[in-house]
Amino acid sequence: MSIANIILTALVVGIAIFAVYYFIKKRKTESVEETVNVDDKTYTIEKMEQFIKKRLDEITKVNLYDIGLSEEELKRRKNKKYELKKALKGCTYGDVNDKKYVKELIYDLLAQEYGVDETNISKAIAFDVPSLLTAQDKFDILIYVFKKEFGYEALTELIKKYNLAVLKYVEGETKPSYVITEQEINDIYEQEKIVLSFADKLAIVVQRIYQHYKGYSSIDEVRDMNIDGVSGGVSGLPESFLSQVAQTDGDYLNQVAEHKVPRACDSIWIFFQGKSIRLAFLSFGTEAELKRVCQNIYKYNNPGQLSDTNGYKINEMKDGSRVVVVRPSFSETWAFFVRKFDVKRATLEQLVRDPGKEDAIELLKFLVKGARITAITGEQGSGKTTLLMGMIENIYETMNIRVQETAFELHLRKIYPTRNILTFRETDTISGQEGLDVQKKTDGSVNIIGEVATDPVASWMIQAAQVASKFTLFTHHAKTFPNLVTALRNSMLRTGVFTDEKTAEEQVVQVLNFDIHQVKDFRGKRYIERITECIPLESKSEYTFDHRNEKTLEGKFDKFFDNATRFFEKSTDKKLYAYRNILEYIDGEYVITNPISEENIREMRNNMDETDVEAFDKFIEKHWSNKKQAVAVTASAEETPKRRGRHKKEEV
């Protein structure tokens, strides 16, 4: 080899060695600089959140094949990466297990990589200086402490312990309302005298970071609690209104900026034991944060895109909660409504608690075991769905149950995993009517309709109750029994099943047996106001043939006009049904009033087993042995009993 080649080879090797040395030195310098930068950072929530986002992004996007791992280590890291990706996706759907996994990872990253310690953690939240804590900081600490002791009953225990769910006057308001104020949270925090360890403080900081990164902002922990529901964006001033005011009223805009006037993003409400309570101390902070929560909270199972042309979505979350989300321009602001249904508490013994509850519970059980077609009526939030869940427990095991809902709410298979139950729901492409048509072909004994909300479903329900199943249970928003009959009749007419009002109404009253009416009073108390029986009236012919006995034409005309008069009376003012209250809620007590008709008693006994027939006979003997059963009923009981003062019970 020539000297020139040797020199050239040496030169190339030298350059390569220098390049490798320079690259390694540069990487070490960058690593040191990065460590220095992390150490020098201020430990605020915002900076730590940026670090967590960047770090988790790196973990989920790293190419494991470039690292040079062994086969076993590669497999383990791949599983970890997949598990993290799955958890990051699942935690946004309301999965508490995925949420726990992600929070534990954030905890480890902050403690081990970011260098959070006892000294610098107070830069995130001023744990050691109570005067610097915001109401949200104090609430987060209170919920954390109560959750360690009570689990998901934490918020319930906090509200009960300090009697927060009561009507109160708030400064600037002339009427009392259900609200939990900032001052109340401050007072409670002071009374609790909480002492936190470093692990507790870091766990609270982790929750704060998580709820802004993957959670539901300020309501993240509240949503997980065992309450009836939570909503946001339903009060306060929308952004569109503020932009209009800015041009005309600067003083008013200053009041909004100083948070003296609540904005839409300051609106957080919980539904607790029948009461809508405003959490005045909590806020999403910005309209953008409220929008982010609305855009994420409904995404479970890919229900489709929420857009300006499709301004609402009804869906369920992974834990079974029902969620409704609306957005402009369909609504004036972004808003969401989460309703939770506690299946563990949906038993009649837990739902019916007032004096006389034993008789009320027995009657409800007999209606189900007797296979009576029953409506559960009442306003929104009065407990119709929960009562329906409690009644289903008493359906005989031998009966197959088919359920039709707008969104999955009952979740009966969670309570009764060994029973033959299948639930259908409406989708964008399958209507409630089509779903009910399919139900007819699935060997169901009992049809349960979560809510009769549309004309086709109401019409089909009446038809199916006549021929397709043994009996039907459904909920409806009617206020009175006549309103229920009228609404169902009108649905039959609007869908074109019938064209004559009387014929349609006759079909309804022949099918409908009982109506259980739920009430939620202004204090949030929920109870059964009445159980009403529908009694179809038989049409008796009152026409005569006396005209045949008349000798004169004038006499025959008189008898003919008598029959004609009866005909027009029947056509214009014909009573097709009577109704009477079997049970009423009077002065805070459930009272059995009028007896069940003989026909319904006979049908109920035919559908019960021997043990239940015996118990039912004793129930009848106990309450109605001294009351005369009417074969024909000509008058209706009072629809709505007075709950205070004297109330006259009707004897039939």
Answer whether 281's CB lies under 8 Å from 136's CB: yes
Note the pLDDT tens digit of each residue in 388-439: 888 988 999 889 998 888 777 778 888 888 889 998 888 778 877 788 778 7
Q: Indicate the range of 116-120, 167-171, 267-271, 464-468 predicted with least confidence.
A: 464-468
| The pLDDT value given to residue 640 | 44
Strands of the sheet containing 167-168, edge to edge, are: 167-168, 177-180, 275-279, 268-272, 229-232, 335-339, 322-326, 312-316
More confident residue, 61 or 160: 160
Encode pLDDT of 427-463 as tens digits: 778 877 788 778 778 888 888 888 887 888 888 788 7
Is residue 115 in a domain? Answer: no
pLDDT at 347: 83
Whether residue 502 sits in one domain with residue 563? no
Both 426 and 528 in a single domain? yes
Residue 342: the pLDDT is 66
What is the span of the domain harbouring residue 17? 1-39
Nearest C-alpha neighbor of 218 from the set 227, 202, 207 = 207
Lowest mean pLDDT, pick from 258-262, 433-437, 607-611: 258-262
599, 491: one domain: yes
Instruction: Identify whether residues 331 and 390 lie together within a single domain.
Output: no
452 and 506, same domain (yes or no): yes
Cα→Cα distances 111→97, 118, 198, 205, 325, Å: 21, 10, 11, 11, 37
Whether residue 14 is contained in a domain is answered as: yes
Assign 152 to helix, strand or coil: helix
Residue (of 320, 87, 94, 367) closest to 215 by Cα position: 94
Residue range 341-365: average pLDDT?
A: 85
Q: What is the mean pLDDT of residues 646-650?
A: 37
- Domain CATH for 617: 3.40.50.300
Q: Which of 109-118, 256-265, 467-476 has the lowest mean pLDDT?
A: 256-265
**Band (242; pLDDT cuts 50, 70, 90):** low
Residue 29 clears pLDDT 50, i.e. is over it:
no
Residue 647: its pLDDT value, please?
A: 39
Render pLDDT for 319-341 as a digit per residue (tens, 0 to 9): 888 899 999 989 989 999 998 87
Within-domain flag for 122: no
The C-alpha atoms of residue 230 and residue 249 are separated, in whole angstroms, by 33
Residues 258, 380 share a domain:
no
Give pLDDT, residue 576.
80
Q: What is the dihedral of CA 220, 225, 227, 229, to 10 degrees?
A: 20
Is 651 inside any structural domain?
no
Distance in angstroms (rounded) separating the CA atoms of residues 201 and 111: 12
The domain total for the chain is 4
pLDDT at 588 over 60: yes
Q: Which of 300, 318, 340 is the last residue of a domain?
A: 340
CATH number at residue 251: 3.30.450.90
With beta carbons less than 8 A apart as the criterion, state whether 277 and 270 touch.
Answer: yes
By three-state DSSP, how is residue 416 classified? Answer: coil
Question: What local confidence, expressed as pLDDT, does residue 383 receive?
Answer: 85
Residues 566 and 580 in one domain: no
pLDDT of residue 547: 66
* Minimum mean pLDDT range among 257-261, 276-280, 482-486: 257-261
3-state secondary structure of 633: coil
Q: Which residue has the tokens 């026909």?
A: 599
pLDDT at 651: 34
Look at residue 81 and tell me whether its pLDDT is greater than 90.
no
For residue 34, is it within any domain? yes
Counted residue by residue, the chain has a size of 652
| pTM of the entire predicted model | 0.73
Tell me how far apart the terminal alpha carbons of the chain are, to the nearest angstrom: 125
Q: Percentage of residues in the chain with pLDDT exceeding 90?
A: 38
Instruction: Summarize pLDDT for 479-497 with one digit per residue, the tens.
Output: 999 999 999 999 989 888 8
Whether 444 and 593 map to the same domain: the answer is yes
A 10 A CB-CB count for 255 gives 12
Q: Is 321 helix (H, G, I), strand (E, B) or coil?
A: coil
Verify that 507 and 607 share a domain, yes or no: yes
Mean pLDDT of the 252-263 span:
61
Mean confidence (pLDDT) of the chain: 82
Question: Do 327 and 388 sit in the same domain of this protein?
Answer: no
Q: For residues 377 and 520, state if they share a domain.
A: yes
User: Can you give the pLDDT at residue 450?
Assistant: 82
367 domain residue, yes or no: yes
| Both tokens assigned to 300 | 């479970």
* End-of-domain residue from the set 309, 340, 371: 340
Tell me whether strands 374-377 and 514-520 are parallel, antiparallel or unpaired: parallel
Which pLDDT score is estimated for 30? Answer: 45
33: Cβ contacts below 8 Å, ≥ 6 apart: none
pLDDT attached to residue 456:
83
* pLDDT confidence bin for 79, thresholds 50/70/90: confident
Is 111 within a domain?
Answer: no
The confidence score (pLDDT) of residue 646 equals: 35
491 in any annotated domain = yes
435 and 458 in one domain?
Answer: yes
Predicted local distance difference test score (pLDDT) of residue 628 = 45
Of 255-259, 271-275, 588-592, which has the strongest mean pLDDT?
A: 588-592
Of the candidates 284, 314, 340, which is a domain's last residue? Answer: 340
For the residues 536-558, what does the mean pLDDT come to? Answer: 71
Rounded mean pLDDT, 116-145: 91
Q: Which residue has the higher pLDDT, 625 or 581?
A: 581
